[in-house]
Structure 1
């Protein structure tokens, strides 16, 4: 949701009449994360989220009992911002994006606990075990997915890395989607691979000694039909081949 509304603000900032809205992109996206992580109910998250429409106009009191006023102190000096003037094109269009009924409805259902980052991390880990540049059979792909799951489950809850003095370690990265901006990430401890030793022990102590039960289990794995078009519709492939042969004969 943060990426989506950020892209809408970027499009709005490309126009000359509404380019001032681009200065509020980072603040609006950060406010969305803050509203989700500090709220105990969907109604409270909506109240905090909709308050940003007043905040960017330098209005810090709101007509909502769940969030009647902003929590920050007086904004002076470096804390002050380029406030949007009411009734201007930038203010009105940005308010329409922030207060869009469908988006506000989604904010009410936003979760402060479950995020897609862990799923994206697992997907990137799958590519390490089964690169897209190589083709695998169904059972080969299934085995690689299972190994990726073992590796992820073992290292998903790694602790925060520290220095010898016990200070927490962080890293500054520059993702492409941030266009030169940076992100501070917590460094985790080194990944482990204890599951490999367990698999090797299972292989040499059990499978090699009596492979029949494991072979029977492998044979029970259903292998679906290939998804390639040439297997699904051979008649169409033959027609294409005949058409190509006639074309090359004419030329």
Structure 2
């Protein structure tokens, strides 16, 4: 779908989610739970119309939001000492979701970090009365924040924000949206954002991306001649100079290309009529670009273009 079908890109995301749920259920899939980001429109739809489906939030998106807020706080005067806590806080968010059996337990573990950053490890909470780590001494000791300072108070406001506390109860304990994020990254290779495509053009490229992803989504980890597993060191942009060690996958395959060529040569060329009819049934929405119909606007556009296309 396109954003002009529903008004804007914010509404498009919610509408696309609803259509996806409808398509999956029409094909016989019984949905017990979904994992999404914290899109407010999707939250309202799940809360009002689909109470039968358990709705989880992806910890990567939540950690990304918390990390951005900490980065912004670390740039303020007298708050630079909160910067080194960013990685630990985000890791604690993942740990809280993956080691808990209920939403209340997640919240109890998450709120403990507000005490932990002040070197307080005993908490007034029955579900999580104290930190599980051993006493931190020597080089293990952290740069604890002093209570009642501007840095400590503002960081605590970020960690204990009402909306974040409410959403922590729905954090996904195991499943992630990393697979769909990987697919979105792959789509950019088939349909770069800096190139304009028609609706049918982008649709075909998305279908090619789906076939490539489905064929290569379960590739095994690459090995050396001696049989040792191979890894790669990457420097993601969001880590700002820090690195990540990832398993190096085996080379991708392109069997779907051979299948498409066989279909084209054996069926489409010999009898294109069914495929032409199928193409005609594809609903193509209006173009995203503005349509100039008034003469004065057309003249203005022509004058504007002449500045760039005339010698």
Shorter-chain-normalised TM-score: which range?
0.7 to 0.9
Match of 1:89 in 2: 150
Match of 2:128 among 67, 91, 105: 67
Shift of 1:31: 0.9
2:80 maps to which residue?
19
Go from structure 1 to structure 2 and tell me whether the alpha carbon gap of 1:161 and 1:36 turns closer, same or farther (over 3 Å shift): farther
Superposed, which structure 2 residues align to 1:63-142 within 5 Å?
Answer: 63-142=124-203
RMSD: 2.2
2:297 paired residue among 225, 240, 243: 240
Tell me the secondary structure at the aligned position of residue 64 of structure 2.
Answer: helix
Rg: which structure is higher?
A: 1
Distance in 1, matches of 2:128 and 2:229, equals 34
Give the equivalent residue in structure 1 for 2:246. Answer: 185
Alpha-carbon distance, 1:53 to partner: 0.9
Q: Secondary structure at the match of 2:245?
A: strand
Q: 1:241 to 1:208 in 2, by over 3 A?
A: closer
> Using a 3 Å threshold, how does the CA distance of structure 1 residues 143 and 25 change in structure 2: closer, same or farther?
same
Q: What is the TM-score of this pair, normalised by structure 2? A: 0.71
Q: How far apart in 2 are the matches of 1:37 and 1:134?
A: 40
Equivalent pairs counted in the alignment come to 242
Identify if the C-alpha distance between structure 1 residues 242 and 193 changes in structure 2 by more than 3 Å, giving closer, same or farther: closer
The answer to whether structure 1 residue 145 and structure 2 residue 202 are counterparts is: no
Q: How far apart in 1 are the matches of 2:150 and 2:86?
A: 16
Give the TM-score normalised by the residue count of structure 1: 0.86
Deviation at 1:148, TM superposition (A): 0.7
Per the alignment, residue 49 of structure 1 pairs with 110
Question: Shift in Å at residue 234 of structure 1?
Answer: 0.7
Q: Separation in 2 of the partners of 1:132 and 1:14?
A: 32
Separation (CA, whole Å) in 2 of partners of 1:147 and 1:76: 55
Unaligned runs of 5+ in 2: 1-61, 304-311
Separation of aligned partners in 2, 1:176 and 1:99: 28
Task: Determine helix, strand or coil for the equivalent of 1:33.
Answer: helix
Question: Partners in 1 of 2:300 and 2:187 — Cα distance?
Answer: 41
SS class of match (1:185) = strand
* More deviation, 166-175/84-93: 166-175
Which consecutive unaligned segments of at least 5 residues does structure 1 have?
Answer: 247-251
Residue aligned with 2:203, SS: helix
